[in-house]
Structure formats: C-alpha cells, structure tokens
Chains A and B, each alone.
Chain A
C-alpha cells in the first residue's frame, strides 16, 4: 500500500474522522481522554488510532508514563496538494467569486 492509500483508507471511516476533529480542537490527548468521548471500547479506539498512526496522520509522543496523540497535518496537506488542489482550486475559486459577486449585487 502506498502512502496515499494509507491516508485515504484512514480518512474513509467516520470514527477516525471524528477522532481527527477531536485532536484538531485540542492536540496531545491521551487514549483515555479520547475514549471518554466515544461510544466505543478502549480496544476499538486503539485500533482506529493505530490506523491513523500508520498513515502518519496521528503521531504519538511519550511523556513520562503517558502517551499523547498529536495531529500531524503533513500527510493530509500532501494529499491536498496532489489530489485536490490540482483539480478543484481554479473552478472552486471561480464559483466562490461568482457567489460573492451575485450576493453583493443581489
């Protein structure tokens, strides 16, 4: 599996996207903190975090006895540059501009 495949696979699950949103709000959480917000077993959350970690989107750092989870935005940025920016940007910005103009005059 390529790096891109791992990132797409990691993002293709609502629970994992939810975990990313939680980390986006506040980084450096422990498994216990993340687990407390989800209707899921500790083992289930660990499994999802492992997929995110393998894709490089989540990076863990040990601090004493605790393991903290950090959001690593780089792989998503690289996906964005490679797969989204190229296809969407010119058209999206043209549409956004059209919307702004119509709403200003309307």
Chain B
C-alpha cells in the first residue's frame, strides 16, 4: 500500500442526470443535504454556509465567497464537528455546474487551500467527499438517498 499525505488541492468530478437548477437546490437547501451529507442540514446563502447536525450541533459556519446560481458556488470550510479539525485554518470549496448533452450536468468540486490544514485534508479526502458526492448523485437520479448516508462517517 502506498502511503500518502492528503492533497492540499482535491478535485472531484462526476456526471449527474439532473438540471443545473436541481443540483443547485440540492447543494444549498437543508431538506436535501440532510439526505446525502452525513445527515447535515446545510443552508447556503449569498452570505454564509451553515451546517447543522441532526442534534442541532453546529458542524460548519463559514462565509460564502461566490454565489452564482445555478453555476458556481465558492464557500469557506472549517470542520467544526471535531475540535482538532476546528483548530485548523479555513480552507475553501468550489462547486462548478456545467450542463452537458443528454440532460446531464458535470459537477466539479475543488477543495483547496488545505496546505495548513493537514488533518482536515485527510478527513475529507477519498471516501469523505466521495460518499457525499455519490449520495448526491443517487438522490438526484433516483430520488432515494443511499442506504448508508444517514449515519455519520
């Protein structure tokens, strides 16, 4: 097994059979996010991104830097659900939605500025973002959340 340090810039891309508006809604409205984002109720406005756990605890509260529905969204990221991660400096998440042929959209997620937040980088890398994104895809394409997404990772 190759060992690695989690990357300071992480890129994830996938195709989802949905309209840009549907994807935008699923990213920014808590009634959707709680079905694929580890049960978190996430609300993103032009000003802030707030994330609450099912128990009402604050999992994230960061500024929104770009808010261009339904194409581009940039917000800060601090993992407040874990004290060790919460101490690390804020990183940044960029969402890009590009319509494709055949009713698909290309969704690109870039989590960067993780140079000084190695624990956060490790926590979100690989299975972390992947679980969220495959859950989002399944929810939008079938209307059903993935079986595992209800529980906390």
Contact = CB atoms under 8 A, between A and B. Distances in A.
A78 B135 CA distance: 11
B153 interface: no
Interface stretch (B9-17, B35-43, B66-74, B83-91): B9-17
A99 to B, nearest CB: 16
Interface residues of A, number: 19
B7 A74 contact: no
Contacts of A3: 15
A81 interface: yes
Given A24-B2, A24-B4, A25-B2, A72 B12 contact: yes
Contacts of B13: 56, 59, 72, 74
A70 B11 contact: yes
Contacts of B4: 24-25
Contacts of B108: 59
Contacts of B130: 73-74, 77
Interface of A: 3, 21, 24-28, 56, 59, 61, 70-75, 77-78, 81
Interface of B: 2, 4, 7, 9-15, 108, 110, 126, 130, 133-134
